[in-house]
């Protein structure tokens, strides 16, 4: 039986994508079928009206 894992990530800076690649590499080396997928949708500013970045800045 083949294990399948999807790593779904969202990144404005690239760091979550890098973590997703590390997870996928580890799982793939154990014989797991992997898929990396970015989140499809509007950027966070369009959802929050920009308040998320202002709080974290």
Per-residue model confidence as pLDDT tens digits over 26-43:
888 888 888 888 887 666
CB atoms inside a 10 Å sphere around CB 42 = 9
**What distance lies between CA 19 and its chain's CA centroid?**
8
pLDDT at 53 over 60: no
pTM of the model as a whole: 0.55
Map out the domains of the chain as residue ranges: 4-56
pLDDT at position 8 over 50 = yes
């Amino acid at each position: 039986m083949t294990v399948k894992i999807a790593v779904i990530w969202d990144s404005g800076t690239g760091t979550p994508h890098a973590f997703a690649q590390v997870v996928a590499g580890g799982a793939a080396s154990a014989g797991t079928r992997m898929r990396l997928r970015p989140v499809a949708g509007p950027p966070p500013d369009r959802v929050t009206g920009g308040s998320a970045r202002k709080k974290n800045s």
